């Protein structure tokens, strides 16, 4: 495995101001995760457990997907197993329906939201309420979130047949406009861990 000296992205998210990333950093990471997932899908792999804890950072602030424990190599692109992390589960999985690699696009929408807000959109005090919010796709956007970010997330957090593809995510206007801006947030590189 390649070295990812900065460890889990989750640690950096929790240490960021207000526990969230700015739009530049969020767009940049969302683009990189979409690109990595697109590569996986081109090789018939569905990740199925995307979350900040399963993304590692390199010393030059680039992401590496990790923890392929729930991933599936499937030529048919059809699965039925319920797996992953509760707050990231897509409605088709929660409802026990067959699904395809678009579950990773759903998870990318949840991930982008968590980057920008500091917590997943369906997080609740108990699992039944979380399941209900996921099934009904109940998402609240904070006022500080830009219209472009809302547009991207809303096009990922929708029924599977209507979700953006990963290529469409990488070409989305918010991603293209936002990831060009200079990095305002940085993290300290600790070479001793």
How high is the pLDDT of residue 126?
Answer: 93
Question: Which is it for the CA torsion 162, 166, 104, 51, positive or negative?
Answer: negative
Q: What is the pLDDT of residues 159-192, one digit of tens each?
A: 999 999 999 999 999 999 986 665 444 443 343 3
The span from the CA of 72 to the CA of 158, in Å, is: 22
Q: What is the pLDDT of residues 117-129, one digit of tens each?
A: 999 999 999 999 9
DSSP string, 88-103: G--HHHHTT--B-THH
More confident residue, 74 or 142: 142
Helix segments in the chain, DSSP class H: 9-15, 23-42, 91-94, 102-117, 127-136, 147-156, 166-171, 173-178
35 labelled catalytic: no
Active-site residue among 22, 49, 87, 104? 49
Residues paired with residue 7 on neighbouring β-strands, in sequence order: 57
Task: With H, G, I as helix, E, B as strand and everything else as coil, classify residue 123.
Answer: coil
How high is the pLDDT of residue 181?
Answer: 61
Q: At a CB cut-off of 8 Å and minimum separation 6, what does 45 contact?
A: 68, 71, 72, 73, 74
How high is the pLDDT of residue 77?
Answer: 65
Q: Supply the pTM of this predicted model.
A: 0.88
The owner of tokens 């199925």 is 48
């Amino acid at each position: 495995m390649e070295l990812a000296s900065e460890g889990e992205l989750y640690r950096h998210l929790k240490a960021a101001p207000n526990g969230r990333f700015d739009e530049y950093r969020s767009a940049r990471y969302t683009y990189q995760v979409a690109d990595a997932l697109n590569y996986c899908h081109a090789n018939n792999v569905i990740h199925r457990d995307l979350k900040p804890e399963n993304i590692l950072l390199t010393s030059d602030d680039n992401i590496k997907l990790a923890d392929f424990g729930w991933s599936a190599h499937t030529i048919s692109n059809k699965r039925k197993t319920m797996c992953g992390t509760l707050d990231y589960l897509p409605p088709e999985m929660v409802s026990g329906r067959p699904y395809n690699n678009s579950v990773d696009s759903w998870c990318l929408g949840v991930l982008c939201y968590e980057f920008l807000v500091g917590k997943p959109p369906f997080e609740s005090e108990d699992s039944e309420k979380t399941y209900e919010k996921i099934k009904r796709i109940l998402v609240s956007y904070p006022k500080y979130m830009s219209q472009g970010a809302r547009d991207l997330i809303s096009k990922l957090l929708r029924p599977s047949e209507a979700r953006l593809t990963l290529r469409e995510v990488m070409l989305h206007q918010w991603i293209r406009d936002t990831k060009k801006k200079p990095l305002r947030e940085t993290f300290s590189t600790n070479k001793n861990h």
